[in-house]
Amino acid sequence: MSKNKVLNRIAKKRGVHFVSGKIIGGKDFLKTIPYIQKLNESGLSTTVDHLGEFVNSKDIAKERANECIHTIQMIKDKKLDSHVSLKLTSLGLDISRDLLIKNMVNILDEAEKSNVMITIDMEDATRCHETIHLFKQFKESYTCVSTVLQAYLYRSEQDLKDLSTYQPFLRLVKGAYKESPNVAFADKKDVDDNYKKLIKHSLEYGLYTAIATHDDTMIDYTKELATNLNISKQQFEFQMLYGMRNNLQSILVQDGYKVRVYVPYGEDWYGYFMRRLAERPANIAFAFKGLTKK
């Protein structure tokens, strides 16, 4: 359903006002700033993402890059506690490697100047190898760049080991794309077991680790692991989606943990939302509460 073109068009045309301030920020970054400020005032950090991927136009890819640069500048000017997340397909990954690199260099130059972290999101498995390869290339020249590993992919444990020499900021997720059993664990227990393994290895490698989950089991596992390994709360953070598990976010902040809220914005919210629901059935209940809150 996330890829249904008709439903995406309807959602873009009629639904963005309904979900703004509930499961996404606003229609654009300027309209999203008040939501970020409110989260910051509550002790929550954020990462923002201009929704939209699989761009096949050079002009649109350049527009997305300029939008990202403008967002970085506003984060600095407004003194927001926020990172920026982006997808390489929105910047030209599927069009031209040279185009993508040019766009990313422009973005990372601004991020370095403004001291704003850029997280390269992981997309589907067909783009995983190239994403990691490019991340390594960017990491050699920039400090304000991070990326994501997905626990449902078989390769992620080895990728984590390979990336550890770069001492990166890593976001660990379960994964939200429909993948072949040739490349990904199909069983939830196997995904969960691998997720725990990635969390443990990342912390043991001394990496700053973002555990992106709403799963109480994973959160409790991370807290217990950190205690047992004598790992400081400054070495990791929890990340959650905007509009979901708000009470838990507040409790974790009160307990001294850093929590970063993923705040997407823009008109292309439908595909993002459907993948979040498919990722974990419990997200349906969280999303319903978010959509119906006043």
Angle between helices 216-228 and 246-254 (to 10 degrees): 10
Sign of CA dihedral 175, 180, 184, 188: positive
Cα 229 to chain centroid distance, Å, stands at 26
Q: Give every CB contact of residue 121 below 8 A, 6+ residues apart in sequence.
A: 49, 85, 86, 87, 88, 147, 148
Q: What are phi and psi of 98, to 5 degrees?
A: -65, -40
Q: State how far the Cα of 211 lies from the Cα of 259, in Å rounded to an integer.
A: 10
DSSP at 79? T
Are 104 and 138 in contact, with CB atoms under 8 Å apart? yes
Take residue 292 and report the two structure tokens written for it.
């119906």
Are 112 and 91 in contact, with CB atoms under 8 Å apart? no
Known active-site residue 190: no
The tokens 């403004």 sit on which residue? 114
| Catalytic site residue from 171, 245, 260, 276 | 171
Helices H / strands E in the chain, number of each:
12, 8
Q: Give every CB contact of residue 241 below 8 A, 6+ residues apart in sequence.
A: 23, 214, 261, 262, 276, 283, 286
Q: State how far the Cα of 5 lies from the Cα of 132, in Å rounded to an integer.
A: 29
Known active-site residue 121: yes
Sign of CA dihedral 124, 125, 128, 129: negative
| Catalytic site residue from 121, 124, 159, 192 | 121
**Which sequence positions are flagged as catalytic?**
121, 171
